[in-house]
Amino acid sequence: MSGSNPYFEELRNASEVIDPPQNGDLLDVAEQQINDTADSSLKPNVAISSNVRELLECPVCLNAMYPPIHQCSNGHTLCSGCKPHVHNRCPTCRHELGNIRCLALEKVAASLELPCKYQNFGCLGIYPYYSKLKHESQCAFRPYSCPYAGSECSVIGDIPSLVSHLKDDHKVDMHSGSTFNHRYVKSNPHEVENATWMLTVFSCFGQYFCLHFEAFQLGMAPVYIAFLRFMGDDNEAKNYSYSLEVGGNGRKMVWQGVPRSIRDSHRKVRDSFDGLIIQRNMALFFSGGDRKELKLRVTGRIWKEQ
């Protein structure tokens, strides 16, 4: 196998990252390969020879190959994403690569139908080879990433497994009900790094919601932000709304919004400022006292839109 060849290992470990073609690029080319009768509807399961799948595996990046598939004069194939990185030399036989397309293999690929890679998560669909990537990018059964933002957690899974993971592995506080009243206390709030973020999970309406609270730099000024994420897809998240309120000394700030799906990363939501943002001076004013300690009480509720 090509995986044991030191030359392939060198290419894979090179500083330049070889990305597979983007969905839009390969679909434009692939549409020329597929007749109008091909679609991504559910079909009976089709057994595909592992040998055929291996033929469609790029020997360098090991990803599936999509048009244009290149070959050398000896018939060794290579994906279009890796071709610019091999200096016009076939990585298998080291002969000059040229600009030969392997049309036969492209036509073989167009005749294949494969199961979705998320079949273990419940997807039973069988899809044409050139439509499979597009489906998988939108598959309703694709797993979610762990919403815990305190570390680069790599765990993925469905919602029930992630809820158990948050509770057992991250020791996240779990609450039932659609209203909340949380107090955040931090010493030395002038150090942004000292105001570590917090995550609480709420269960209501048969769903789960993640309440985030943290400090971060907005330009040169440290600020605090609180926002809610929905543990499910965006189309379901839009069925709910939430409000957050923080105040003290006779003043208050109120935020109302729609929870973001955990399909959107924690950082993406935070950096879009889609939540209740409190400037540090205002947060310390709400805290009262000598302003040497952060004491914020955040209240809120979640409701389902009619």
Looking at the structure, do residues 175 and 104 belong to the same domain, yes or no? no
User: Final residue of a domain: which of 66, 95, 111?
Assistant: 111
Long-range Cβ contact pairs of 157-160 (< 8 A, separation 24 or more): 158/121, 159/208, 159/231, 159/232
159 in a domain, yes or no? no
Looking at the structure, do residues 80 and 207 belong to the same domain, yes or no? no
Residue 52 belongs to domain with CATH number: 3.30.40.10
| Domain ranges, residue 180 | 168-304
Q: What is the pLDDT of residue 193?
A: 55
157 in a domain, yes or no? no
Q: What is the pLDDT of residue 53?
A: 76
Q: What is the pLDDT of residue 178?
A: 95
Q: What is the pLDDT of residue 114?
A: 85
138 in a domain, yes or no? no
Q: Which helix (H) or strand (E) holds 304?
A: strand 293-304
Reading the chain (306 residues) residue by residue, the pLDDT tens digits are 444 555 555 555 554 444 444 544 444 444 444 343 334 444 443 445 567 778 889 999 998 898 899 999 999 999 999 999 998 899 999 998 888 999 999 998 888 888 898 998 899 999 998 899 899 999 999 999 999 976 678 999 999 999 999 999 999 999 999 999 888 877 766 665 544 567 899 999 999 999 998 888 777 777 889 999 999 999 999 999 999 999 888 889 999 999 999 999 888 998 899 999 998 888 888 887 676 778 888 999 999 997
Looking at the structure, do residues 64 and 174 belong to the same domain, yes or no? no
User: Final residue of a domain: which of 89, 111, 133?
Assistant: 111
Angle at 303 between CA 302 and CA 306, to 5 degrees: 160
Cβ pair 118, 132 in contact under 8 A: no
Number of separate domains in the chain: 2
In SS3 terms, 267-280 reads as HHHHHCCCCEEEEH
7 in a domain, yes or no? no
Q: Which residues of 80-109 are buried (b: 16+ CB within 10 A; e: fewer)?
A: bbbbeebeeebbbeeeebeeeebeebbeeb
124 in a domain, yes or no? no
User: How far is residue 31's CA from residue 270's CA, in Å, rounded to a whole number?
Assistant: 38
Q: What is the pLDDT of residue 150?
A: 65
Amino acid at 266: H
Q: What would the pLDDT profile of 274-290 be if each residue is shown by its tens digit?
A: 999 998 888 888 887 67
For tokens 């050398």, the residue is 72
Q: What is the pLDDT of residue 288?
A: 79
User: Please, which residues have CB within 8 angstroms of residue 79's CB and are 6 or more apart in sequence?
Assistant: 20, 21, 58, 60, 61, 63, 65, 66, 69, 70
First to last CA, the chain: 58
Residue 282 belongs to domain with CATH number: 2.60.210.10
Looking at the structure, do residues 175 and 242 belong to the same domain, yes or no? yes
User: Final residue of a domain: which of 96, 111, 126?
Assistant: 111
26 in a domain, yes or no? no
Looking at the structure, do residues 82 and 186 belong to the same domain, yes or no? no
Looking at the structure, do residues 179 and 67 belong to the same domain, yes or no? no
Q: What is the pLDDT of residue 203?
A: 96
Looking at the structure, do residues 182 and 300 belong to the same domain, yes or no? yes
41 in a domain, yes or no? no
195 in a domain, yes or no? yes
Collapsing DSSP to helix, strand or coil, 145 comes out as strand
Q: What is the pLDDT of residue 214?
A: 84
User: Please, which residues have CB within 8 angstroms of residue 273's CB and are 6 or more apart in sequence?
Assistant: 218, 225
